[in-house]
Amino acid sequence: MIKQLFIFFSLAVGTCIFAQSSDEKGLANQITKLESAKKTEDFQQSRDYFATYVNNLARGTQTKKEDWRAYYYTALSIIRGQITSQREGNVQNIDETSALAEKYIGGIFVKNPNNAEANILLSQIYVLKSSNNPTGSADNLAKANEYLTKAAFADKNNPRIDVIKGEIAFNGGDKELAKKYFNSASEKFKTYSKKSSLDPNWGKEDIEYYLSIIK
């Protein structure tokens, strides 16, 4: 009887470990796709995948309930899609998409109240909002800086903090300061180490984009 229980327990543990490994592999593959996405439909595909993952977490059918990355990458897919759309000249629906992204970011804070990457994404959202509302631009950029301060408290060497600072300076009209932050972020990327293979890696393409348009 004891031997049978041991075998059953071993099988259960093995199944759980395999499920977790499969989940992580699926996340890793989709994260890679998101990092290489160029078109709005690519970001929509990533958004749908990660949103489904989040729903599975809520139903308890995914194995790592404590994982925050599904919420993060759903929000990131929404935001990156909006940024791409904006650079193509379409600034519609920023408030709507921002609200949806903030909803998913809220899911991160349930388990990780001081998550630096989540605060960086919130800062990015307010930079986007500033571009859509000239009269409230200063307030939105100030809010963006508040979230960066929180992010720096948890992860001060994160290069994405300087990326967003560069965007804030650029939108505020100070191109020289923006260039300083983008160059600083570029240097930090050379030495910054991700805590996990599933952690964010975006930002370098933003540096290239802004430095290419700053005269």
Residue 126 has pLDDT above 90, yes or no: yes
Number of domains in the chain: 1
Give 136-194 pLDDT, tens digit per residue.
Answer: 889 999 999 999 999 999 999 999 999 999 999 999 999 999 999 999 999 999 999 98
Residue range(s) defining the domain that contains residue 150: 2-213
CATH number at residue 176: 1.25.40.10
User: Could you tell me the two tokens for 147?
Assistant: 């979230």
User: Could you tell me the two tokens for 157?
Assistant: 């060497």
Q: Is 160 helix (H, G, I), strand (E, B) or coil?
A: helix
The answer to whether residues 85 and 40 touch, using CB atoms and an 8 Å cutoff, is yes
Report the alpha-carbon distance of residue 17 to residue 93 in Å, rounded.
41
pLDDT averaged over every residue in the chain: 85
pTM attached to this predicted model: 0.85
Give 49-58 pLDDT, tens digit per residue.
Answer: 999 988 887 7
The gap between the terminal CA atoms of the chain, to the nearest Å, is 77
Give 182-197 pLDDT, tens digit per residue.
Answer: 999 999 999 999 888 8
Residue 45 has pLDDT above 50, yes or no: yes
Q: What is the dihedral of CA 75, 157, 178, 120, to 10 degrees?
A: 20
* pLDDT at residue 195 in the model: 85
More confident: 3 or 199: 199
Pick from 166, 93, 167, 153: nearest CA to 119: 153
Distance from the Cα of residue 175 to its chain's centroid: 25
